[in-house]
Structure formats: C-alpha cells, structure tokens
C-alpha cells in the first residue's frame, strides 16, 4: 500500500498560472493542482498527472471547471492606522475649506494623533478588519507600511501590529518602515531635524528590532526632498535594508531615478515620472507600482507613463494603497479594475500586476505564479474568464482561498 503523497489535489480546474507558457494569463485548461507542505507540487494538464488522483493525494476534489489564480499580492498598503477620515470626507463634500478641515483637526495629523493614542489591541482590532477585507477578495500576501506614528515607539507599534495581523490571519505580511512619510508634529518647521531623527535614531533601532522588511519614503514637494530622501536611503543601505519610494505622484522630482539609483524594489505612484526615470528603473529592475485608487480619490488627471513602462520592459504592479486620506479602498480587485479603466492597463497586465509583478516588488521569489515549488497560495474564483476579475466592480468572486496549503473559507453562503 502506498501512502498519499500530496496534501490536496484539485481536478477539473482552469489555471491562470501567470507563467510564461505562451498562453494568455499562462492559462492551462483541463488542469489539476496538487500541493504538499504548503507548496505547489503539480500545476499542469490533468492528463499529465503522474498517477491515479486517489493515490497521489490525501484529499481529492473537483474544482468544477473553476478558474484558479495565484493568491493576490497587495504590495503597497498603509492599512494599520486608528480612526478614519470619513468625517473629513463629509465636511469637504459639504463645502468646508481646507482651513476649516484643518481647524477641525483633519488631515494626516489627525490620523497620527489617533494612531499614537490607540492601544496595541485597539490598533490591531481596527486594522485587522481591513486586512480581512483584502483577504476575502483574494489577497494572501499584504505589504503594510508604518508612517502614522512618526516617533520611534509608535512606528514600532505599527510595525508589530502589522506582523501580528499576519500571524492572526495566517497570511504573509511584509512590513515597511515609512518614518519619512510626514514631518512629526513636534518637529513642525524643523524638517531637517526630523530627518536626523529618522536616520540617526529611528532607522538603527528599527533595523536592530528586525521589525521592518524594507524602508520607504515620500519624496514630493509637499513631503521630503530628493536630498532628504537620499539620506534616508543611504542610511537604510548601510543598515542592510532594501528601499522603495513614493515617487513622482504630484510632480516630477526625479524620484523614480533616485529609487533606481539605490536598486529600489519598487517606485510607486509615478504619474509624473519622465523618460530618464523610466529608463533608470528598467536598468535597475525596479518595479513600477500603480496606485489608481489614490489617483481616483484625488481626482488626478495626469496618467502614469504606462506605454513607456511597456516599451522599456519595466514590470508593472497594481496595489490598493489602503490609507485613510487618499485611498480608503479595501479590495485589490477594485484597484485592478481602476488600473484598467483609469490607466488603460489590460486585464492581463492588471492580474500580473497583482501577482507575479507584485511578488517581485516585495522581493519574494517564492510566489506570484502557479507552478511547482511555489507557495500553495491560490484562489478559486466564481468566474468564466480571467478578465472578470478586473471587469466586475464589487461583489464576491472568491469561492475558496488557500494560503500556504490551508483553506480559508471566505465565500458567501450561496457559494460555500
Ligand atoms: Zn502609499
């Protein structure tokens, strides 16, 4: 008697592997998917299974012709924060001026105050709900940035909360230190002193605590200058931390080229990135992360140079940018839809952007496609074509979600 070798095996699948197999979406029809110890063992034509299904795996099920993709990867979020800015949203739409909103305690300052004041458990509970929403829509890997603490203890509290979310949900959370998000209120008018604080005090402590996987900064006329950003990056590099950058969102500050110079994992936003920036990113292998929900919320009109990224072969990712000010979006699929509708990316580019290219933006080589050896993170969808993932706005499409070889059952009762 032979013992089953695999933990699970799905038959009668349609796989969107996102591998480069010559087919759109890396699709394989009449496919099977087997996994063991959290990794994919087989993703290919069912006719090529190396034996009888019942012998191959402990559990064998039919996927009833469902489409299966790799678990989605949200490579840019700020989902750990306390409170929200719905009141400010309402005030603005009722005609309040920026001064009135600031007077009422609005803006990033309010999020910083509430995040600092929140207990560990409050911050965790509020943020966990947002992570659950992303997971329910298919995201099995999520990047989470700090940047609403702006003092060492509060930044570490945010990053530990992010890690705790990953442990609670059993998903991968990549953490990013974003101390250079805004100037801390107590440093108002002393921006260079705050950059000192980030570089001399915070970054070494964050590196020592091993609580961040990467370092980010907001390089913009309303945030940190290229010179200040360079200082943050040089410090991060000396500490052995990878970098990424909020670059060229509202103006062309040369952020993309600066990110590329430091071998950044990604440069994100990029609406104003110029030709030289695109070329530098291509040469450095830096991923371009599209954040169309922030573009939408801010009612921006300048499109990122999608065609130039295509021409120069810069990989494009798509992410939610979940944050209380400019992107209160709790669905990566919705971001993919916006990337198509607003930025004219194709549905396949959007799906690659939320899987294989998002994995690259996080420096993760073990996921983003469905093939043997990759993590068994995948989603079984209630769709008849992969383009439906970007076509539908809202709704529940995920039937079942598997994370590291374990099922998360998240579907509506009708689909359960
Ligand atoms: Zn962001």
| pLDDT-derived band at 28, boundaries 50, 70, 90 | very high
Cα 9 to averaged position of ligand 1 atoms, centre (Å): 38
What's the pLDDT tens digit per position in 370-398?
A: 999 999 999 999 999 999 999 999 999 99
The pLDDT of 197-202, averaged and rounded, is: 98
| pLDDT-derived band at 37, boundaries 50, 70, 90 | very high
Cα 148 to averaged position of ligand 1 atoms, centre (Å): 12
pLDDT at 113 over 50: yes
Mean pLDDT score across all residues of the chain: 95
Hey, which residues does 13 pair with through a beta bridge? 31
Cα 70 to averaged position of ligand 1 atoms, centre (Å): 24
Cα 294 to averaged position of ligand 1 atoms, centre (Å): 8
Cα 76 to averaged position of ligand 1 atoms, centre (Å): 6
What's the pLDDT tens digit per position in 213-226?
A: 999 999 999 999 99
pLDDT at 3 over 80: no
Cα 147 to averaged position of ligand 1 atoms, centre (Å): 10
| pLDDT-derived band at 1, boundaries 50, 70, 90 | low
CB count, 10 Å around CB of 117? 12
The pLDDT of 78-91, averaged and rounded, is: 94
Cα 244 to averaged position of ligand 1 atoms, centre (Å): 11
Cα 373 to averaged position of ligand 1 atoms, centre (Å): 31
Cα(157)–Cα(123) distance, rounded to whole angstroms? 9
Cα 215 to averaged position of ligand 1 atoms, centre (Å): 12
Instruction: Give the model's pLDDT for residue 414.
Output: 42
CB count, 10 Å around CB of 158? 31
Cβ contact 306:343 at 8 Å: yes
Cα 321 to averaged position of ligand 1 atoms, centre (Å): 5
User: What residue has token string 């890396």?
Assistant: 26
Instruction: Give the model's pLDDT for residue 99.
Output: 78
Cα 46 to averaged position of ligand 1 atoms, centre (Å): 42
The pLDDT of 125-149, averaged and rounded, is: 98
Least Cα distance to 120 among 177, 80, 180, 169 occurs for 80
Instruction: Give the model's pLDDT for residue 325.
Output: 93
| pLDDT-derived band at 151, boundaries 50, 70, 90 | very high
pLDDT at 44 over 90: yes
Cα 322 to averaged position of ligand 1 atoms, centre (Å): 7
Cα 408 to averaged position of ligand 1 atoms, centre (Å): 28
Cα 398 to averaged position of ligand 1 atoms, centre (Å): 26
Instruction: Give the model's pLDDT for residue 409.
Output: 64
Cα 391 to averaged position of ligand 1 atoms, centre (Å): 24
Cα 246 to averaged position of ligand 1 atoms, centre (Å): 6
Run of H or E residues at 402: strand 398-403
Cα 326 to averaged position of ligand 1 atoms, centre (Å): 9
Using DSSP bridges, classify how beta strands 6-16 and 27-36 pair: parallel, antiparallel or unpaired: antiparallel
Cα(171)–Cα(227) distance, rounded to whole angstroms? 36
Q: DSSP characters for 206-266? A: HHHHT--SEEEEEESTTSB-HHHHHHHHHHHHHTT-EE-EEESSSS--SHHHHHHHTT-SE
Cβ contact 320:335 at 8 Å: yes
Cα 393 to averaged position of ligand 1 atoms, centre (Å): 22
**Orientation of helix 108-117 relative to helix 152-169, angle to 10°:** 70
Q: In the chain, what percentage of residues exceed pLDDT 70?
A: 97
Cα 120 to averaged position of ligand 1 atoms, centre (Å): 22
Instruction: Give the model's pLDDT for residue 415.
Output: 41
Cα 161 to averaged position of ligand 1 atoms, centre (Å): 18
Tell me the whole-structure pTM to 2 decimals. 0.96
Burial class (CB in 10 A: 0-12, 13-18, 19+), 363: middle
């Amino acid at each position: 008697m032979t013992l089953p070798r695999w933990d699970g095996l799905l038959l009668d699948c349609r796989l969107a592997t996102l591998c480069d197999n010559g087919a759109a979406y890396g699709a394989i029809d009449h496919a099977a998917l087997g996994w063991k110890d959290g990794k994919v063992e087989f993703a290919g034509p069912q006719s090529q299974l190396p034996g009888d299904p019942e012998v191959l795996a402990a559990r064998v099920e039919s996927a009833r012709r469902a489409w299966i993709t790799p678990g989605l990867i949200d490579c840019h979020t700020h989902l750990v924060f306390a409170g929200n800015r719905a009141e400010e949203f309402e005030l603005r739409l009722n005609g309040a001026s920026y001064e009135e909103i600031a007077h009422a305690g609005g803006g990033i300052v309010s999020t910083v105050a509430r995040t600092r004041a929140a207990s560990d458990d409050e911050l965790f509970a509020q943020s966990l709900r947002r992570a659950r929403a992303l997971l329910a829509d298919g995201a099995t890997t999520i990047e989470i940035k700090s940047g609403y603490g702006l003092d060492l203890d509060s930044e570490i509290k945010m990053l530990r909360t992010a890690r705790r979310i990953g442990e609670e949900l059993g998903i991968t959370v990549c953490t990013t230190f974003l101390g250079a998000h805004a100037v801390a209120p107590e440093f108002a008018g002393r921006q260079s002193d705050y950059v000192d604080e980030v570089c001399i005090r915070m970054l070494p402590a964050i590196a020592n605590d091993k609580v961040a996987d990467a370092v980010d900064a907001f390089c913009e006329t309303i945030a940190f200058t290229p010179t200040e950003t360079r200082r943050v990056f040089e410090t991060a590099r000396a500490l052995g931390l990878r970098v990424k950058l909020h670059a060229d969102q509202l103006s062309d500050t040369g952020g993309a080229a600066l990110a590329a110079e430091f071998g950044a994992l990604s440069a994100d936003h990029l609406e104003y990135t110029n030709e030289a920036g695109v070329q530098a990113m291509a040469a450095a292998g830096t991923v371009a992360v599209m954040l169309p929900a922030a573009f939408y919320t801010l009612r921006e009109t300048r499109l990122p140079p999608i065609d130039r990224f295509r021409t120069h072969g810069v990989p494009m990712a798509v992410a939610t940018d979940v944050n209380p000010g400019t992107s209160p979006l709790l669905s990566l699929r919705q971001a993919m839809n916006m990337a198509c509708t607003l930025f004219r990316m194709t549905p396949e580019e959007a799906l690659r952007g939320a899987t294989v290219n998002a994995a690259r933006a996080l420096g993760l080589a073990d996921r983003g496609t469905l093939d043997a050896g990759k993590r068994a993170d995948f989603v079984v969808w209630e769709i008849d074509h992969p383009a439906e993932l970007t076509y539908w706005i809202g709704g529940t499409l995920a039937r079942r979600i598997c994370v590291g070889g374990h099922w998360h059952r998240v579907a509506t009762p009708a689909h359960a």
